[in-house]
Amino acid sequence: DAKTTQPPSMDCAEGRAANLPCNHSTISGNEYVYWYRQIHSQGPQYIIHGLKNNETNEMASLIITEDRKSSTLILPHATLRDTAVYYCIVRGPNDYKLSFGAGTTVTVRA
Amino acid sequence: DSGVTQTPKHLITATGQRVTLRCSPRSGDLSVYWYQQSLDQGLQFLIQYYNGEERAKGNILERFSAQQFPDLHSELNLSSLELGDSALYFCASSVAPVQDVNTGELFFGEGSRLTVL
């Protein structure tokens, strides 16, 4: 019952920006978009989240389209340590859990 | 370091046995979540507790049970183990019963890797 669609994999060159797309065409008005990542069987790590506006923190930027049906996570300067599975998750205020889909396997190459 | 502690890190046991996985949440966090990650299933939500009470249940088998104690640590009990129960089991914690909408963050531990032979 995943509410998001992500490409299964993508490659990125070290030092370049990585742009990770996510489609969430059925998102409701009160649902947030969250991004987590999981580095090789470690526990998932929170990256960023947003509702309508674009968001930026020390790890990444989140760009949400005006119709909110898709978003892009931007890693501005990818490093080899950013190689991970990235999960885009839609969650509403009454959702008690995060529902993880298959995510995007991002490989950063030197 | 997320502040969530899980023990043991690795566990090898035989089919039919019973094991207990332990989770200590971050200091001050009242909610504990359990997830299972196997190779073919991805991250599956099992169950959530808030301040000692069960709040949400996911795809948790009847052979599995959990509880959260007054000191807020949680245990996941897995019994009558089968080969298919081999997986990484993650615990996560957060402050609120629902994720704090201001931070949206669950803090995950490093997991307990269970191997059933």
Name the burial class of residue B73, with classes exposed (0-12), middle (13-18) and buried (19+) by CB atoms within 10 angstroms of its CB.
middle
Mutate which of B4, B32, B43 to test chain A, going by most A C-beta atoms within 10 A? Answer: B43
> Which residues of chain A make contact with B104, given a CB cutoff of 8 A?
32, 34, 46, 49, 91
- Across the interface, do B98 and A46 touch by the CB < 8 Å criterion? no
Show the CA angle centred on residue B85, arms to residues B79 and B88, nearest 5°: 115
CA dist., res. A96 & res. B97, Å (int): 7
Structure tokens at A61: 């930027």
* Residue pLDDT, tens place only, B80-90: 999 999 999 99
Please tell me which of the candidates A38, A44, A96 has its beta carbon nearest to residue B48. Answer: A96
Q: Is the model's pLDDT at B103 over the cut of 70?
A: no
- Are the C-beta atoms of A54 and A70 separated by less than 8 Å? no
Across the A/B interface, how many CB contacts are shorter than 8 Å?
59
- Across the interface, do B45 and A93 touch by the CB < 8 Å criterion? no
- Across the interface, do A97 and B105 touch by the CB < 8 Å criterion? no
Region A95-105 average pLDDT: 87
Average pLDDT value for chain B:
91
A44 touches chain B (CB under 8 A): yes
Handedness of CA A110, A40, A101, B55 (dihedral sign): negative
| pLDDT band at B59; cut points 50, 70, 90 | confident
- Across the interface, do A42 and B110 touch by the CB < 8 Å criterion? yes
Q: Is the model's pLDDT at A61 over the cut of 50?
A: yes
- Whose CA is closest to A73, among A22, A30, A108, A26? A22
Region A96-102 average pLDDT: 85
Q: Is the model's pLDDT at B101 over the cut of 70?
A: no
* Residue pLDDT, tens place only, A6-24: 999 999 999 999 999 999 9
Whole-number pLDDT of residue B97: 59
Q: Is the model's pLDDT at B102 over the cut of 70?
A: no
Contacting B residues, span 5-24, partner chain A, CB-CB under 8 Å: none
| pLDDT band at B67; cut points 50, 70, 90 | very high
